[in-house]
Structure 1
Amino acid sequence: MNPKWWKECVVYQIYPISFKDSNGDGIGDLQGIISKLDYLQDLGVNMIWVSPIYKSPYHDNGYDISDYLDIMKEFGTMDDFDTLLREIHARDMKLMMDLVLNHTSHEHPWFLESRSSRDNPYRDFYIWRKGKNSGPPNNWESYFSGSVWEYDSLTDEYYLHLYSKYQPDLNWENPVVVDKLHEMIEWWLKKGVDGFRFDAISHIVKAAGLPDADNPNQTATVRAYDLFSHLDDVHTLLQNLFDNVLYLYDIMTVGETSGLGPEQALNYVGDGRRELHMTFQFEHMYLDAASAGSGKWDVVPWSLVKLKEIITNWQKVLHRRGWNANYLCNHDQPRSVSRFGNDGQYRVKSAQMLATFIHMLEGTPYIFQGEEIGMTNIAFDTIDQYRDVETLNYFKEKRAEGVPENEIMNAIYKKSRDNARTPMQWDHNEHAGFTTGVPWIRVNPNYPEINVEEDLKNPESIFKYYKKLIALRKKHKVIVYGEYKLLYPTHEEIYAYTRRLDNDLLVVILNFSDREPIFQMPDEINLKGINMLISNYLPGEKDDLYHLKLRPYEARVYLGKSHLHKH
């Protein structure tokens, strides 16, 4: 079982610019987070993950850091951060920082020095190359569209950026860079932070010689993916970071590592690897993409059978060998209830069902701000109301290709990162109680009905249901450590599975549809002594667990003793 506190915790992600504004400038800040810590403590979460708050010109919402050891002035001061950390710890919670090690801002002092001349001592902190054939050094394409190379006329060379041109990639082949990053990480650990989420960590090593990608059947980004992702030296560098810095502290680490399966993930999180505690996998995030090569914007209906296949594979491969990070939503993804549930008639029931799904799996559950009240996607009227650089680039690129505007906007409504970035809906006052000023991005107009104030008053609310789930996880070790087994893998509406630990048996039954399918408890599960642990509906008077008619988006969890399980 190998118990660890980071396996038993529940993580709540805060996107600070959108969480709570304390001073009326329309931008969420650290004092705003501090003012809501009692709310998070009441929810029951143990770990707060805060998206980047470092000094930044904010071209990519703080994932472009210009000073690792300072706070962005719009968010507050280092004194505010120290207060936040102290207040979190006073409530017996922990704080996880979001750290970008693949790249910095183009305004970082290192890069300003690096671009000043070819013989500057900082030149080799980044990846510079001469162009070839009057163009970029290779044909790699950026995640945010266009080439990964930006020409700089001052020194007549190109610098590499996997993301936007405002985010030049660091050169991890330079040991001085590595040492400086290690020093910076230790500086935060000495302050008392309790962990890190390492952004884009699988990209820190690029293929030797930076060769052209040569798979003509894929988009340029996918073609080049194997040339800058999950290369062997990534593991060497992470092990060095662990051995030199991280192992000295009792912290939690999670890596953003798209494009891998569970066996490959064990290279990062396998017991004894000395790298990371868990990684965010992305396989289920591509369920509604037409193909791996078509990009996220080409949206198709997703399949529950495929979701079961993906999650089951991760549950089984990592059991007793590594650890899962379980999530359905974050700052880069659409709202989970709009994507995997029903954000109309069954918003409450489907949000509660999805929460049951995530919290009953083996692994650490992650809640993204607003998920606990069932916040939904946004459909802004015009592209001018969007703020996300990826969304704006996509719109511009597709319009230039002649794609009709309504077609582009329909994809944006489903997949824009701004779906998750609209302000937290606290109450039914103007701007949802997020700010007394003008918010940096518009509030979802459904805030009068969907807000924290309403959920706190309603005993059947999504918030109250999350609170019960989290409390159950703290009480029953089988929810944390039990071995997963899928039931009915090919059923297109019901997702059911068991978890077993010692003598405890958990049975999880989830209806992922607005219909009323019949669930039949497998004959090998003896129902004597089995009790309902939680459900998002009141149980029926004449429930027959061998022939159970499920209501739309119903979730049921039962707990029994596994010695009642017939082998």
Structure 2
Amino acid sequence: MPNTAIDIKRQPLTEKNTWWKNAVGYQIYPRSFKDSNHDGIGDLNGIRQKLPYLKELGIDFLWINPIYASPNADNGYDISDYQAIHEDFGTMDDFQSLLQEAHALNLKIIMDLVVNHTSDQHPWFLESRKSLDNPYRDYYHWADATPEQLPNDWQSFFGGSTWTYDEPTKQAYFHVFAKEQPDLNWTNPKVRHEIYQMIRWWLELGIDGFRIDAISHIQKEPWDFKITDNPWAPFMNVTGIESYLAELKAIFNEYNVMTVGEASGVPHSEASAWTGDHGYFNMIFELEHCQRVGEQGSQKGSIHHLKHSLNQWQTSLATDGWNALYLENHDTPRSVSVYGDHSPEAAKALATVLLLMKGTPFIYQGQELGMTNYPFNSIKELDAADTIHFYQTLLAEGTPAKEALTIAVNWSRDHSRTPFQWDDSPFGGFSTVTPWLNVNKNYQTINAVQKDQDKNSIFHHYQRLIRLRKETDALIHGEFTLLFPDHPTVFSYTRTTETESWLILVQLDRELTAITFPDSWELSDWEEVLANTACKALQHEMMLSDYEAHVYRKVLN
């Protein structure tokens, strides 16, 4: 495989590069983005074809989900070769061409770094399971066991035990995800050496950073640890992880690249230790705000929870650290379905909330079109292993099949993984053949061609918000203050510097609702800059409805 570094200009290592604070990112789930070779699966050359579209949107960097060699037990998050491209996506030459063409357009690329676990088909694990004294045995977590008596009763994120018994060696191996994803043993310095070599290989190739997957799980408690309330406590942000994260940080600092860690289990109160001036990563993805809140089987999210959680993170990282902002990703349903009513107005309102908070916004593919959740009618339409396992569990508990399906697909990851809707041709322009996952049935009315037909489309609203953010220092560095914290549907906040203040006022519902500004506010000083509906002057008492979103600016003396 080629091991030639692409010639790109890097910031001097002595200069702290914070380009990502001014940037807007775009997440690509490659299997569902664009199929260029007519096999029903998205690929690297499909991404290359659509770089002009992404440039037109105004984003600055792409985060690409795993494209490495993999048996696909978990759609690429089970890696069998860290330095090879999965044949579904193309070749290493295709990747290098993508990287070069993206850089030519001043678009950066960050990769998914998956180092909590490998595939059970990775050469390390294949060697590891051969014998108790194999040199690779300690690359993973093995413990004495029997089929009836596993080392403990810990449960995996995907359901079932975290242990899988291996008959030939009379031991079990540990995995916090699927059994096909054995966890690496980070206490072994040889494992860390191998990982660090691989990281440097990719950085020398010229990529611009990493999104580090499941990194808060790499340290485990002793196997006799007793769980009290949190079932994930034995492998979530466990004490001792700090030394490994410090080693990773040292490597990233050598290359001065962007890093964003997926930090499940890291509360907002500890966030600055992970992403502050002395933290391990430039920013982290927290999972608190997108947790399901409400009745089982309901797809509606809680606006109050969303607002409260995001405010906590904005406040906790106000002076030390940086937020990674998102409403959608490959593991969550579509935000316009969860927090809206599938409408363009709701999509624009949510975009306004997201893009003007403090932090680096990440747009998930199709979010800029208002792509919605898929109306699953059969478990056969699903691909996500955790959803299928949940459905089967509900059936085993006696839940009727129809009800079980409704509950299981409620928060399924497959809602966000349906193919990108490029136009109204068959299969939404994603492919010329039947895709690996069904295209949403609304592709004929929700697709990328809308941007050329309607200057008030969701795409253009995102475009305007991105441009406004980049042109406005207060919308990047300004202080965040939440307004109307207890209002059930209005999400409003200010962004303020010494010279100006911005007011973002959004109603996340169709119902008519009233808000009241304090008498001390001089409202005549505010100028409306952007809205998703008719302009509306600020008043001390205002009525809002139908997912209205307004952005106002005030010059300070």
* TM value normalised by structure 2: 0.95
User: Equivalent residue for 1:330?
Assistant: 329
Extract unaligned runs of 5+ from structure 1. 291-296
Larger mean CA deviation between 301-310 and 463-472 belongs to 301-310
The answer on whether the counterparts of 1:27 and 1:440 sit within 8 Å (CA) in structure 2 is: yes
User: Equivalent residue for 1:479?
Assistant: 475
Post-superposition shift, 1:522? 3.2
Q: Secondary structure at the match of 2:210?
A: strand
User: Equivalent residue for 1:232?
Assistant: 239
Q: 2:506 aligns with which of 504, 510, 514?
A: 510
The answer on whether the counterparts of 2:300 and 2:337 sit within 8 Å (CA) in structure 1 is: no
Residue 245 of structure 2 is aligned to residue 246 of structure 1: no
User: Equivalent residue for 2:362?
Assistant: 366
Post-superposition shift, 1:513? 1.0
User: Equivalent residue for 2:270?
Assistant: 264
**In the comparison of the two structures, how many residue pairs are matched?**
542
The answer on whether the counterparts of 1:128 and 1:160 sit within 8 Å (CA) in structure 2 is: yes
Post-superposition shift, 1:153? 1.2
d(CA) in 2 for partners of 1:173, 1:299: 42
The answer on whether the counterparts of 2:33 and 2:430 sit within 8 Å (CA) in structure 1 is: yes
Q: 1:124 aligns with which of 130, 138, 141?
A: 138
d(CA) in 2 for partners of 1:455, 1:399: 44
Post-superposition shift, 1:301? 5.4
Residue 344 of structure 2 is aligned to residue 348 of structure 1: yes
Post-superposition shift, 1:227? 1.3
User: Equivalent residue for 1:294?
Assistant: none
Post-superposition shift, 1:302? 4.2
Q: 2:204 aligns with which of 178, 190, 196?
A: 190
Q: 1:375 aligns with which of 371, 374, 377?
A: 371
User: Equivalent residue for 1:421?
Assistant: 417
Letter in 2 for 1:115: R
Extract unaligned runs of 5+ from structure 2. 1-15
Q: 1:437/1:305 Cα in 2 relative to 1: closer, same or farther (>3 Å)?
A: closer
Kindly provide the CA deviation profile for residues 482-526 of structure 1, in whole angstroms up to 9, marking residues without a partner as x.
Answer: 101111111122121111012110001010111122333333332
d(CA) in 2 for partners of 1:143, 1:110: 23
Residue 124 of structure 2 is aligned to residue 110 of structure 1: yes
Which residues in structure 2 correspond to 1:192-341 (within 5 Å)?
A: 192-207=206-221, 209-215=222-228, 218=229, 222-223=230-231, 225-243=232-250, 245-273=251-279, 275-289=280-294, 299=298, 302-341=301-340
Q: 1:362/1:430 Cα in 2 relative to 1: closer, same or farther (>3 Å)?
A: same
d(CA) in 1 for partners of 2:341, 2:451: 18
The answer on whether the counterparts of 2:139 and 2:185 sit within 8 Å (CA) in structure 1 is: yes
User: Equivalent residue for 1:549?
Assistant: 543
Q: 1:182/1:493 Cα in 2 relative to 1: closer, same or farther (>3 Å)?
A: same
Letter in 2 for 1:211: D
User: Equivalent residue for 1:141?
Assistant: 155
d(CA) in 2 for partners of 1:242, 1:408: 44
Q: Secondary structure at the match of 2:168?
A: coil
Which residues in structure 2 correspond to 1:417-496 (within 5 Å)?
A: 417-496=413-492
Post-superposition shift, 1:455? 3.0
Q: 2:54 aligns with which of 34, 40, 65?
A: 40
Post-superposition shift, 1:309? 1.9
Larger mean CA deviation between 228-237 and 64-73 belongs to 228-237
Q: Secondary structure at the match of 1:315?
A: helix
Q: Secondary structure at the match of 1:258?
A: coil
d(CA) in 1 for partners of 2:209, 2:43: 20
d(CA) in 2 for partners of 1:176, 1:164: 24
Kindly provide the CA deviation profile for residues 420-465 of structure 1, in whole angstroms up to 9, marking residues without a partner as x.
Answer: 0000000000000000112001110110000001233211100000
The answer on whether the counterparts of 1:140 and 1:213 sit within 8 Å (CA) in structure 2 is: no
d(CA) in 1 for partners of 2:429, 2:457: 19
Residue 400 of structure 2 is aligned to residue 386 of structure 1: no
Q: 1:359/1:75 Cα in 2 relative to 1: closer, same or farther (>3 Å)?
A: same
Post-superposition shift, 1:413? 3.4
Kindly provide the CA deviation profile for residues 191-221 of structure 1, in whole angstroms up to 9, marking residues without a partner as x.
Answer: 11111011100000001x3124332xx5xxx
The answer on whether the counterparts of 1:519 and 1:545 sit within 8 Å (CA) in structure 2 is: no
The answer on whether the counterparts of 2:494 and 2:503 sit within 8 Å (CA) in structure 1 is: yes
Q: Secondary structure at the match of 2:449?
A: helix
d(CA) in 2 for partners of 1:304, 1:14: 26
The answer on whether the counterparts of 2:419 and 2:430 sit within 8 Å (CA) in structure 1 is: yes
User: Equivalent residue for 2:8?
Assistant: none
Larger mean CA deviation between 149-158 and 31-40 belongs to 149-158
Q: 2:555 aligns with which of 558, 561, 566?
A: 561
Matched residues, percent identical?
43
Letter in 1 for 2:285: F
Q: Secondary structure at the match of 1:447?
A: helix
Q: 1:162 aligns with which of 169, 176, 182?
A: 176
Post-superposition shift, 1:550? 1.8
Q: Secondary structure at the match of 1:508?
A: strand
* TM value normalised by structure 1: 0.93
Q: Secondary structure at the match of 1:69?
A: strand
Which residues in structure 2 correspond to 1:517-528 (within 5 Å)?
A: 517-528=513-524
Post-superposition shift, 1:300? 7.8
The answer on whether the counterparts of 1:288 and 1:299 sit within 8 Å (CA) in structure 2 is: no
Q: 1:3/1:539 Cα in 2 relative to 1: closer, same or farther (>3 Å)?
A: farther
d(CA) in 2 for partners of 1:287, 1:520: 30
Post-superposition shift, 1:287? 4.5
Q: Secondary structure at the match of 1:31?
A: helix
Kindly provide the CA deviation profile for residues 290-343 of structure 1, in whole angstroms up to 9, marking residues without a partner as x.
Answer: 6xxxxxx66585433333221111111101211111111100000000001111
d(CA) in 2 for partners of 1:357, 1:287: 19
